[in-house]
A and B are shown apart, each in its own frame.
Chain A
Amino acid sequence: MNQDATDHQTSPTISSGDDVWTLVITPHRPLLEIPLRELWEYRDLLWMLVQREIVTAYKQTILGPIWYLLQPLMTMLVFIVVFGNIAQIPTDGLPPALFYLAGIVMWNYFAEAFSRTSTTFTMNADLFGKVYFPRLVVPLALVVSGLLKFLVQLSLFLIIFTYFLLSTDRLHPNLWILTIPFLVLMMAALGLGFGVIFSSMTTKYRDLTFVIQFGVQLLMYATPIIYPMSLLSPRLKQILWWNPIAHLIETFRFAFLGEGEVSLLGLSYSAGFAIIVLITGMMIFNHTERSFMDTV
């Protein structure tokens, strides 16, 4: 009975007799019930939000998408001057431009995904307060649009990489390049996972917005962006080993440039960490999305 209505299913169907309820709202929902099916229903919205992010980011600007390239380039120049020339931090014998750019491009993706998704609830309170859709679409859209930005910046890196590859013989790209998609995926998972955890908590405790602001900056110094892992003392190296992003950056550098510290154990640790953070994040997000409008 009423079969046509079931075409629009939005949540698990519960049958009672000959009645088919396509939507059941109850006070509590299992923590692990991530609405994957519903997310799939809203895939068009995901793409439109991604499109919106990209189209509106540089509306009414003259340089437009060139800003995507200027950001890492300028950062790279500053790093070369400050950390390379003034502080004289060695770069594993690699061309400083490539050394820094590799770190910046990877790090930027994580930092952006994290800090932008961490404001999901507070920034969209107005929209979320008026209409329902799976809230997870919003942080997902941010991570996907960040990925596109990352790809643009990666091609910038590849251009400079090709230049150095042809003009010097210091670079030794290797088969580890095949792991790059996984590295990026782990970056995305970490950024999204941490982002949604923090976004859920900030709905109640606004203190965390301050933590995020300087936390991301501080975390960068705990990650081998401006220095190589090999420079560290064994004691420090042991501590930094627990930073899951460190392995991703080092592997990325090793794959393209041939210098860096790669370990399968480290990568497995990063992968496990990313998965746990992502699942925890989803659970907390899932719990928060039901009632955050009352506290935000």
Chain B
Amino acid sequence: MNGFGPVCRALSHFIFMSKTILEVRDLSKLYRLGEVGTGTLSHDLNRWWARVRGKDDPYAIVGQANRRDQKAESAYIWALKDVSFDVREGEILGIIGANGSGKSTLLKLISRITSPTTGGIRAKGHIASLLEVGTGMHLDMTARENIYLNGAILGMKRHEITRRFADIVDFSGCQMYVDTPVKRFSSGMRVRLGFAVAAFLEPEILIVDEVLAVADVSFQRQCLGRMQDLSNRSGRTVLLVSHNSTALASLCHRGILLKQGQTAFDGSITEAIHHYSEATTRRRVHWSGPIGNDDFQLVETWIRPVEENGIWETGTALEVGAVLDVQRTVDSLYFGFRLLSGYGTELALALYDDADSEINQTIHPCRISQRWIIPANMLAAGQYRIDFTLGLENRSPTLGESSGELLFELENLTGHGRQYHQQGVRGSDSLLRPNWVSDRRVTTIQDHNIVIF
């Protein structure tokens, strides 16, 4: 199946990637900071006066770039500034960016919830947005009534909903509660119902904004599958915003990275995620000293993907390296690094002498450059820390903790073994994924004697 996915994707590219279905040109959106209401009347009058004279909006000129960590210099801000891109039919486009980078604003403009300040959008066919689940549900009405209402809000005709009704109920898994008021549903069930309606909507362009966060894992998988279906089989276009990079990488063809309301990258989804995590994760991949004593000094340390221009993900082998100066002839040197999880638990200790049977080797003054390889698919997605240890056998270590410290973070883009991360409770350190050979035998219960106490 894993080999089949890319083929399907390539095929769908080949068949559908010919026509532009959505065109975004120089799209900008200006927002007013602070409280709306104070001074709005005078601003409105000023604006109106400018319009009467045929001038531009006087407040639009002073807008500054959107950086939420900086103090605002002006009362207006560009939530989105000159964003342009085309989307082709059948494409699944992932939109990523930090909080406040303009993702939601962009989707709101495309789905016509608010209108742009400048620029424009052109589209072919029906655009339906699934911005948050449960949109327009009435708690006092039953699931059946809500499916019809929700479908109509999303632009479906009554007969279309009737035709799809069984599928929708099936997909949501709420067969038992069809005639129960939705207020008796759990929030997860409402999410299921809401997504089910939208999943069978089949618009030409479907907009999905981080809606799956509430759903459980099995339903998430069901939804991702449905989105893939929409794109692959029906040639529908999907615009997806998510912080789940695994889902994005497995689903999308293309990624757009937004930064402070502007397009920072537009290209393949893996590269987009790479650029995004580059910009946001706390990572220190190179350290330079020196640190140590008269005997030996740690000069520099580094970690990098083995491949040139490699991406920081779980499927890439990593190289850990260090340069050490030995300034005096010493016996029984040990030198290595500790791999720690982001929560500080030691996961592994790699030593210089691991490969040597003779520990009490004598080393004369020299420069040692050492490399270790962490194989691909050894670590789960998460944050890691490395520090170096150096000293003589049976003596207290020369370097203290956190010497030559490196920090890095891995994303899981292939989707293999992502349960390691997802099922781990926050703070859990089960991050190693050794490729142990496992063997499973399945027998029927009758083969065993069952003892009942």
Whether A27 contacts B152 by the Cβ 8 Å rule is no
Map CB proximity to A onto B104-147 as digits: 1 under 8 Å, 0 otherwise: 00001111111111111111111111011001101011000100
Map CB proximity to B onto A257-296 as digits: 1 under 8 Å, 0 otherwise: 0000000000000000000000000000000001111110
The yes or no answer to A129 lying at the interface (CB within 8 A) is yes
List the A side residues contacting B155 at CB < 8 Å: 41-42, 45, 133
A25-B109 contact given A45-B152, A59-B140, A204-B40, CB 8 Å threshold: yes
Could you tell me the distance between the alpha carbons of A60 and B138 in the complex, rounded to whole angstroms?
14
Whether B116 contacts A131 by the Cβ 8 Å rule is no
In angstroms, how far is the closest chain B Cβ from the Cβ of A14?
8
Whether B120 contacts A25 by the Cβ 8 Å rule is yes
Whether A129 contacts B36 by the Cβ 8 Å rule is no
Summarize A's interface: helix, strand, loop or mixed.
Answer: mixed
List the A side residues contacting B37 at CB < 8 Å: 204-206
Whether A133 contacts B124 by the Cβ 8 Å rule is no
Whether B148 contacts A130 by the Cβ 8 Å rule is no
Q: Which residue of B lies closest to A29 (CB)?
A: B115
List the B side residues contacting A47 at CB < 8 Å: 158
The segment from A15-23, A95-103, A214-222, A232-240 that touches chain B is A15-23
A42-B140 contact given A8-B126, A10-B126, A132-B112, CB 8 Å threshold: no
Whether B123 contacts A290 by the Cβ 8 Å rule is no
- Checking B116, B118, B125, B131 against A5 with a beta-carbon cut-off of 8 angstroms, the contacting residue is B125
In angstroms, how far is the closest chain B Cβ from the Cβ of A222?
28
List the A side residues contacting B40 at CB < 8 Å: 204-205, 295
The yes or no answer to B31 lying at the interface (CB within 8 A) is yes
A-B contact count (CB 8 A): 131
A55-B141 contact given A133-B153, A294-B31, CB 8 Å threshold: yes
The yes or no answer to B204 lying at the interface (CB within 8 A) is yes
Q: Which residue of A lies closest to B24 (CB)?
A: A25
Whether A132 contacts B113 by the Cβ 8 Å rule is yes
List the A side residues contacting B124 at CB < 8 Å: 2, 5, 19-23
Whether B109 contacts A294 by the Cβ 8 Å rule is no
Map CB proximity to B onto A122-135 as digits: 1 under 8 Å, 0 otherwise: 00000111111100
Whether B204 contacts A295 by the Cβ 8 Å rule is no
Q: Which residue of B lies closest to A26 (CB)?
A: B120
Q: Which residue of B lies closest to A133 (CB)?
A: B153
- Checking B19, B123, B131 against A131 with a beta-carbon cut-off of 8 angstroms, the contacting residue is B131
List the A side residues contacting B127 at CB < 8 Å: 23, 132
Could you tell me the distance between the alpha carbons of A152 and B124 in the complex, rounded to whole angstroms?
45
Whether A295 contacts B140 by the Cβ 8 Å rule is no
Q: Which residue of B lies closest to A25 (CB)?
A: B121
Name the interface size band of chain A: 35 or more
The yes or no answer to A33 lying at the interface (CB within 8 A) is no
The yes or no answer to A74 lying at the interface (CB within 8 A) is no
The yes or no answer to B328 lying at the interface (CB within 8 A) is no
Could you tell me the distance between the alpha carbons of A131 and B203 in the complex, rounded to whole angstroms?
13
The yes or no answer to A148 lying at the interface (CB within 8 A) is no
Whether A131 contacts B122 by the Cβ 8 Å rule is no
Could you tell me the distance between the alpha carbons of A51 and B153 in the complex, rounded to whole angstroms?
14
A27-B116 contact given A44-B157, A48-B152, CB 8 Å threshold: yes
Whether A293 contacts B112 by the Cβ 8 Å rule is no
List the A side residues contacting B108 at CB < 8 Å: 129, 293
The yes or no answer to A86 lying at the interface (CB within 8 A) is no
The yes or no answer to A52 lying at the interface (CB within 8 A) is yes
Map CB proximity to A onto B12-48 as digits: 1 under 8 Å, 0 otherwise: 0000000111010000000110001100110010000
Whether A132 contacts B204 by the Cβ 8 Å rule is no
Which B residues between 139 and 185 are near A, CB-CB below 8 angstroms? Answer: 140-141, 145, 148-149, 152-158
In angstroms, how far is the closest chain B Cβ from the Cβ of A144?
15
A130-B113 contact given A22-B123, A44-B157, A52-B138, CB 8 Å threshold: yes
In angstroms, how far is the closest chain B Cβ from the Cβ of A137?
9
The yes or no answer to A211 lying at the interface (CB within 8 A) is no
Which B residues between 222 and 273 are near A, CB-CB below 8 angstroms? Answer: none
Could you tell me the distance between the alpha carbons of A82 and B47 in the complex, rounded to whole angstroms?
51
A44-B152 contact given A27-B120, A132-B113, CB 8 Å threshold: yes
List the B side residues contacting A56 at CB < 8 Å: 138, 140-141
Could you tell me the distance between the alpha carbons of A94 and B145 in the complex, rounded to whole angstroms?
46
Could you tell me the distance between the alpha carbons of A49 and B146 in the complex, rounded to whole angstroms?
11
A204-B121 contact given A25-B115, A27-B116, A131-B129, CB 8 Å threshold: no
Q: Which residue of A lies closest to B160 (CB)?
A: A44
A48-B141 contact given A24-B122, A25-B116, CB 8 Å threshold: no
List the A side residues contacting B138 at CB < 8 Å: 52, 56
Q: Pull 7 A–B residue pairs with CB atoms less than 8 Å apart, ordered by A.
A: A8-B203, A20-B124, A25-B123, A27-B119, A60-B140, A205-B37, A205-B40
Of all A-B residue pairs in the complex, the 9 with the closest CB atoms, nearest first, are A45-B152, A5-B125, A290-B115, A8-B126, A25-B121, A132-B112, A23-B123, A21-B122, A293-B114
Known: A26-B116, A27-B115, A56-B141. 19 other contacts (CB 8 A): A10-B126, A23-B127, A24-B122, A25-B116, A25-B121, A45-B153, A45-B155, A48-B152, A52-B149, A56-B140, A60-B140, A127-B136, A128-B113, A130-B129, A131-B131, A132-B129, A205-B40, A294-B32, A294-B36
